[in-house]
Structure 1
């Protein structure tokens, strides 16, 4: 979402110049992975996260395909030294009851969790808002996300708490994060409305981020936003906010 329109590996250098210490991206299948690895090495950046699922976990008819997709992503993450795979679970299937779909999600995650553990990769299941950005998506509440993590019961399966999405869905983001910190493997930030950089909307990150740190979170915080102004300035300003 940042430095769009620039060749992908050049975006890595721009992120480094703006003060980022890691990068994340969505899909990996369209990337030149050797070029990505070389660019990260050149600029001393880690790949913090990337998408790990491109097949809906909610559809039992595609369970084998979904598991294969996640295993391929785990192998790719290990190749890039990426510690987190973002797992989007897919759209709600209209002809299947909710509990059955949830069971399919849990079963798929259980089946690949040992592969993730062997590779040193965390699978971070992401709830998304359905009101603005992702109508029809299966998983919108952090509470159900935490329940899925509990049902899988593996330390390599966690929740990705996206503050932007959860502010739209449920609010009360500080309490909803800090009360389940042991379930959280990754955090995304952006402001509401508009999904722009922190400081452009209603979220008080000067309180949210210190509260998260005080509760003991020490993992990556990904700045997943569409800059309202200059991209480099937005990344630099976000880094300043993260550093307190």
Structure 2
């Protein structure tokens, strides 16, 4: 298994500096949030409002910055965060079309940056809307994703559906629900993403979830329900790592945290040390 970290961890520094720090700590991959990519954009300083504005040269600069630092671009996550007009489970055909087009454009961006996976979490852009049942929402999501998956297939990018716990939303809360949607879509480019924090909200033990969903798992986030990194809370991480290893998972284990205390760098270093310890246990 290979260790990566989500780049928004280093939001306190430039994109390139974040790549260099990740490599210096020992990570060999970085997972990118689209809303962080303004550093290398020709559109100028400040937050990039729409990553579709990234030119070919912008994309080449980001890819080169990662390579120069010695890390690989794993792919993208937070796909719909900080966007407007997109929604995975909307009943509005115009919103469905716009969302499918946007996700397809992210698949192109992911491939242009050298990435292979896109993690579809973004709970605030998929939760059930008033008057929309879970069954209807699932139908709408299948319509949106079915329209963009041919681009993933063409570009060699895997869309990894991320189940999230009920504290974050009310759509696709379990690994089983994510697998069911992936199976319904029936595309080789659509699989499932597992996240420790999210799995901790399920009644099934995390190790068992890992084992049951091994054939469907394309990507993995290491963290803790306390919003810190792996091994920094109550969840015992080594057995989870061992379960991944036993099932033959050979993809990325990517650190995704949501609290940066005492500092982002300290979180990144401790998380990496805990990943190494789990690998040696």
Contact 2:118 2:158 survives alignment (8 Å): yes
- 1:167 — aligned with what? 200
Separation of aligned partners in 1, 2:274 and 2:18: 17
2:88 to 57, 61, 81: 57
1:99-178 pair list within 5 angstroms: 99-131=135-167, 134=168, 136-178=169-211
Separation of aligned partners in 1, 2:61 and 2:71: 13
Contact 2:28 2:71 survives alignment (8 Å): yes
TM-score by length of 2: 0.79
- 2:31 — aligned with what? 24
Structure 1 residues 179 and 236: CA distance shift in structure 2, 3 A? closer
> Is 1:41 paired with 2:67?
yes
Unaligned runs of 5+ in 2: 1-7, 41-58, 81-85
Aligned length: 240
1:213 to 232, 240, 245: 245
Contact 2:175 2:213 survives alignment (8 Å): no
TM-score by length of 1: 0.90
Aligned-residue RMSD, C-alpha: 1.9
Determine helix, strand or coil for the equivalent of 1:168.
Answer: coil
Offset of residue 224 of structure 1: 0.6
Offset of residue 227 of structure 1: 4.4
Contact 2:104 2:149 survives alignment (8 Å): no
Contact 2:231 2:271 survives alignment (8 Å): no
